Amino acid sequence: MPTRRTATVEFVRGSVRGSRRRALASLPSLFTLGNMFCGFFAILVSIRGDHTLAAVLVGLSVLFDITDGAVARLVGAVTPFGLQFDSLADLVSFGLAPALLAFTLFSEGQDGWDPLGWVVCFLWVACAAIRLARFNTTIDPTADKRYFIGMPSPGAAGVVLASVFAFGDDMQGRDRLWVLLIVAVPALLMVTNIRFRSFRSLVSPKSGRPYGLVATAVLLVVGFAVAPVVTGIVLAYGYLLAPILVPVVAPLAKLVPARLREALS
């Protein structure tokens, strides 16, 4: 027969386990909150004219966005609330922040009537919102989980921030109409049916083959340490052009030994 002491001990243990589960369940939301904070901060510094810092903050938002999904899958805390919260944070960090960053560069901080810049930057926000809403409402169990339908908003935002680092001084001014292409092209790709590779399995903490993740991490660290601007441009524009480049480069993969391909997969 259980005594009062054993019942108390079991109650305390159950409370501790419940507290741990609640703490683990809230952990991904903390990373999502970090994502939203960096996006909001990027908006504020864009208004002040510090475009480089704004681009850095959007880049941090991308890291937080990758991390919160990986943490959620690691602790088994993938919930409808987390999905919706993540989308709202993404709309701030990868919808509003890149649009305002591009607009402040294009308009040089002036408040005059600038319909072309307004329309293109609103196009970005609208496409990001449509992309996120479509992602949340389209659940197809037969879909290939290795691909996104439409360019994901963090990848699109990466094109803007990489361009700021590479061409920031040349992007300012209303005569720089090519700047609007940097906004319009990724924006439209977000709402197309073009497939973009998802690297969710690569960064999954439960992956049984972490070699691809380790190799990618090493290459990125070395690239950003040696040539950060070039690495950022290759990464962002390479992903932008991936639907065109992959079919061209795919035949070359046959030259890689099968064991190496299996280890990196």
The correct answer on CATH 1.20.120.1760 for the domain covering 21-206 is yes
Distance (Å, whole) CA 25 – CA 71:
10
Q: What is the pLDDT of residues 24-79, one digit of tens each?
A: 667 888 899 999 999 999 999 999 888 999 999 999 999 999 888 778 777 777 78
Cα→Cα distances 62→123, 137, 234, 237, 245, Å: 21, 22, 16, 16, 23
The encoded tokens of residue 202 equal 């690569």
Contact 185, 144 (CB under 8 A): no
The reported pLDDT for the residue numbered 9 is 43
Q: pTM for the full model?
A: 0.79
Coil, strand or helix at 1 = coil
Whether the per-residue pLDDT at 264 is higher than 50: the answer is no
The reported pLDDT for the residue numbered 13 is 47
Coil, strand or helix at 67 = helix
Distance (Å, whole) CA 238 – CA 96:
23
Whether the per-residue pLDDT at 111 is higher than 60: the answer is no
Contact 128, 190 (CB under 8 A): yes
Burial of 61 (C-beta count, 10 Å sphere; 0-12/13-18/19+): buried
Whether the per-residue pLDDT at 223 is higher than 70: the answer is yes
Residue 206's pLDDT band, with cuts at 50, 70 and 90, is low
Q: What is the pLDDT of residues 113-158, one digit of tens each?
A: 678 888 999 999 999 999 999 888 876 555 666 778 889 999 999 9
Average pLDDT of 5-33? 61
Cα→Cα distances 12→3, 22, 71, 182, Å: 14, 15, 27, 57
The reported pLDDT for the residue numbered 66 is 86
Mean residue pLDDT across the chain: 79
Cα→Cα distances 5→15, 16, 18, 171, Å: 15, 17, 20, 71
The reported pLDDT for the residue numbered 261 is 52
Q: What would the DSSP string read from start to end of 185-205?
A: HHHHHHTS--EEE--TTTT-T
User: Which segment of 26-35, 172-181, 245-254 scores lowest on mean pLDDT?
Assistant: 245-254
